[in-house]
A and B are shown apart, each in its own frame.
Chain A
Amino acid sequence: MLLDAQTLARLKGVKLRARAVMEGVLSGLHKSPHQGQSVEFAEHKEYAPGDELRHLDWKAYGKFDKYYVKRFEHETNLRSVMVVDASSSMGYTSGALTKLDVATTLAGALCYLLVRQQDAAGLALLTGGKWKDVPPRASAGHLNVLLDTLDATVPGGGTDLGSAADHLAEVLPRRSSVIVLSDLLDEKQDALKRVLALRQRKNDVSLFHVVDPAELTFPFDDPTLFLDMEGEGRIEVNPREIKESYLEEFHAFLAQVKAACAEADVDYELVRTDERLDDVLLRYLARRGRRG
């Protein structure tokens, strides 16, 4: 199945695109990165009234003549939240798909994957400067809700990843999986820092950095009036004159983001809007698999 950007662009709606991507992924996938149903022993606790009697450790009672209760890390399935940046800048495209198209398609495909594994998947959409949450659930019916939400998303407003991170820190239980899909074009200096801080709360954080090829190569020749997609700013420049400097700045930014992610133990994936998304997901899942 052809899953290049041009082909995907012809598929209307996130549902179709996400399914197409997911099928491509499944055909190449050998092992799911998410175990689900994972129940891991964490510690013993002296029994107190109200504790589950089924968790009493009778062997420990035999040894120590005291009642101890087994405690576990998670007692439920994996909870994942797709944080999709739907700010105005995500609406940019120099080719077939906007950055938002790519982000929602990736998010949809991941939702497919998670629900298929009976993990809970949710959404946190930042659009028009407001948050729109879809709490994580593992039911198959919930998948339609997720995909419909993604399909209905239109770019708008500014980027505020920092506040998104703070919001998630409040609502998400610890050890959730947070997958951020954004172009990271946030004017606030500490936005990335606050996103990466989710990792410190024992969350599993992945970052899909979506960029357009034009942003990577700056292929403009004629004098151009650049308009800020998230504000009123505008500037008239001869692109050839600043190309070298722009590329230097932008690639330094990419390197900086990548280094920060590595330091915070956050999975970083640079996604070009013109590349095959199933490749992106396979690459991502394979890395996850290696990490165990």
Chain B
Amino acid sequence: MTFGNPWMLLGALGAFIPLLVHLFDRRRPRPHPFGPMAFVLRSQKRTASRLKLKRLLLYVLRTLILLAIPFALAKPELGSEANAAQVVKGPAATAIILDASLSMRWSDGTALFERGRDEARDALKDLLPEEPATVLVCTASPAAPPPPGFDRARLRALVDEAKPTYGGADLSRCMDLAARALEENPMPGKRLVVVSDMAASAFRLEAPPPTVKGPTGAPVKPEVVLRDVASGRDALGNHAIVDLKVEPALQAGPRAFQFTFTVRNFGTEAAKDLEAAVRVGETTLAKGFVDVPAGGTTQKALTVRFPQGGTVVGQVTLAPDALAEDDRRAFVLPVPRALKALVVNGAPHATRYRDEAFFVDAALTAPGSPVEVAVRDAEVGLGEDFSGYDLVLLLNVTAPSAEEAARLATFVENGGGLFISMGDRVNTEDYNQRLGAVLPRPLRVVRTSAERETDPEAETKAARLAQVKSEHVLFSPFTGRAEEGLIGARFYRYMLLEADNPANPGASQVLATYEDGAPAVAVMRKGKGRVALFTSTVDRDWSDFAIRTSFLPLMQRFAAYLTGSLEEREEVRVRVGEQVTLRPEGSQKVTAVRTPDGGDLPVKEQSDGSVVAGPVMEPGAYSVLGADGKMQPALSFAATLDPAESDLTRVPQDTLTAYFGEETVKASTGDADKPTVPLWTWLILAACVAFFLEGTLLRK
């Protein structure tokens, strides 16, 4: 037991007053001759034993009253004997470190952070008047606290205004910062009060414990007071969504996606029938149940088919537990819209597989593809109104007429996509002359790497793709084993291109080259549209690429890329506490990044045109506003929590004591399971009851 005002215990000497009164207060009774003495005697005998008991009770009650009052004023607190023996003595400059990590949001009705705030207030209250103090709200990137002072009101306000974050807290770093702040105070005693749930993720026990400069300048350990807001609990149960993958589910439709949750149970009890759902706004799009063993991980896949294209902002949710913040995860998903493609077939053939458009048609109309294809021969196709399409593919077309080329250029300028592939019928001069404005690079001549019909070693001599810019969104899926399907293709002939386009210098970009360095894929932005030039054929005439496994996905990505459906920022993943780099395309501008709760993130434009926003402070979907103040869905992103923060494993008290040093850990209070009512209120209550009983006895 410890006492806040131990000198008040001197008042307990008052408990001897009833005894002294009993011993020394021999007031002379008034003599009174009386006739019916026999009745007085009999009454006295009858009541003697009861009176004796009554006097004893009165004595006990009065003693209790006189004991309870000074004990209550001494502000006693119950604690273990070990702790009682280690109560801090003597004044000390004190730094109170309040853990504001995500784990402090854990709640069993009362959030740990609220308890922590109460503990911090109590710690301030318990300070001696001569003890200076400072407060540090500990986050993942804490700032140095001010030197200890005596402005208690300011410190209390600091505690009152503190809020838990969505990130981690580096308590080790915070203790170091607090220790440095304490060094600025000349008082020899130094004390660190750590108010935390003692989650293991907050401590770096491999780092040395905090020290302060001693009177001689040598480092000494400060006293450490651990106020454990989750005291009495071995573990804080929690399950969380630790990962989310969203992939197209082509088998279910062109705009179907499979949401794969990874759910981890950090608790010691199995979680059964947890509801997992995909929601957009208030609408639940898919729902399922998942069982997660204690300490285990489970995946759950839910498929959602979106009715229309566009950017979808939603969240996946899990049945909420004591830490609800990690039971949901926002997503920003670009859902492809339906595309209309005009395939201009420059070399039709009666045999389907020999037809120039056969493989492209098959690739673009594969199950799950959002592309609706119209195949026309050159004469009809080039005569159509291109504005009715999102994408035009010129496959081995001799060359458009000047008028057709002009319409094509207008189509691209207005945001259309143009794909051009080569072949025997391509007239390079006409292309360069009529379509030069939209060609990424002018065509030169056809190069034959191997004669397939005559050379038996043609397959080994055939050119292959050598350098593929896998960082580009077009080729980003073709990494690892998927790349083999791309570089395994053999190219017997291909069109050589000029080094640059004089009409649009520097505008084109080569995304893939052959082994000899000749461009295989060149792209260029023109106006609002994009143009891709594939220097070989899309049938089997010049290469076997059309029958490679990579052909179908690449063609679909060409279609998506050229129509703007494939955004380069789709892989943006941001965790709370990090900054996000946004890369606006073309004339896009980023003027503001709106947080989930309606605030704005700090935005800083970089020299390369990108924009750095953040750090992101809360999970959820962030929307990006353009120069016109309108939302730019293509740049929107979702911020997620660090899964490590969902692990609420606690550091055992013994471990912390050993880490800080048994001689420095002076007290550990803040037992959340113990009654929060101070002991003195019970003593006052006992005194009141004793007072009432004493009065009742006296009246009897």
State A249–B54 Cα separation when bound (angstroms): 21
Encode contact with A along B24-40: 1 for CB under 8 Å, 0 otherwise: 00010111111111111
Judge whether A235 and B44 touch: CB under 8 Å: yes
CB <8 Å contact, B40 and A226: yes
* B51 CB within 8 Å of chain A: yes
Verify if A140 is at the interface (C-beta below 8 Å from B): no
User: Are the C-beta atoms of A246 and B35 separated by less than 8 Å?
Assistant: no
Residues in A76-99 with C-beta less than 8 Å from chain B: 89-90, 92, 99
Contact with B along A217-238 (1 / 0, CB 8 A): 0001011111111110101110
A187 contacts partner chain B, Cβ-Cβ < 8 Å: yes
The residues of B that contact A225 with a CB separation of less than 8 Å are 29-32
Whole-angstrom CA separation of A237 from B40 in the bound complex = 9
Contacts of B20 in A (CB 8 A): none
Measured CB to CB, the closest approach of chain A to B687, in angstroms, equals 25
B33 smallest CB distance to A (angstroms): 5
> Once the chains are docked, how many angstroms separate the CA of A227 from the CA of B38?
11
Q: Is A4 an interface residue (CB 8 A)?
A: no
Q: Which residues of A contact B40 (CB under 8 A)?
A: 226, 235, 237, 242, 246
Q: Counting CB contacts under 8 A, is B47 at the interface? A: yes
Q: Is the CB–CB distance between B29 and A229 below 8 Å?
A: no
CB of A278 within 8 A of chain B?
no
Give Cα A55–Cα B47 distance, bound, in whole angstroms: 68
Confirm or deny: A52 has a beta carbon within 8 angstroms of a beta carbon on chain B. no
Instruction: Verify if B46 is at the interface (C-beta below 8 Å from A).
Output: yes
Q: Flag if A236 contacts B33 (CB, 8 Å).
A: no
Chain B: which residue is nearest A90 at the CB level?
B35
What mask results when residues 2 to 40 of chain B are scored 1 for a CB within 8 Å of chain A, else 0?
Answer: 000000000000000000000000010111111111111
Interface centre among A90, A215, A231, A246 (most CB of B within 10 A): A246
B41: CB under 8 A from chain A? yes
> What DSSP secondary structure best describes chain B's contact surface?
helix
Question: In the bound complex, how far is the Cα of B700 from the Cα of A242, in angstroms?
Answer: 10
- Most A CB contacts (10 A, CB to CB) among B31, B36, B44, B46 go to B36
Contact-residue bracket for chain A: 20 to 34
- Chain B contacts of A248 at CB under 8 A? 43
User: Residue A61 at the B interface, CB < 8 A?
Assistant: no
Are B29 and A222 touching (Cβ within 8 A)? yes
| Complex Cα spacing A230 to B36, Å | 10
Contact of A226 among B32, B42, B51 (CB under 8 A): B32
Q: How many Å lie between the Cα of A235 and that of B27 in the bound state?
A: 15
Residues of B within 8 A of A212 (CB): 35
Contact with A along B41-62 (1 / 0, CB 8 A): 1111011000100100000000
Q: A226-B33, A230-B35, A242-B44 are in contact. List 20 more A-B contacts (CB 8 A).
A: A92-B33, A183-B35, A187-B38, A212-B35, A224-B31, A224-B32, A225-B32, A226-B37, A227-B34, A229-B34, A229-B35, A237-B44, A241-B54, A242-B43, A242-B46, A242-B47, A245-B42, A245-B43, A245-B44, A245-B47
24 examples of A-B residue contacts, CB within 8 angstroms: A90-B35, A92-B33, A99-B35, A185-B35, A222-B30, A223-B29, A224-B30, A224-B31, A225-B31, A227-B34, A228-B33, A228-B34, A228-B37, A229-B35, A233-B37, A233-B41, A241-B51, A241-B54, A242-B43, A242-B51, A245-B44, A245-B47, A249-B43, A250-B39
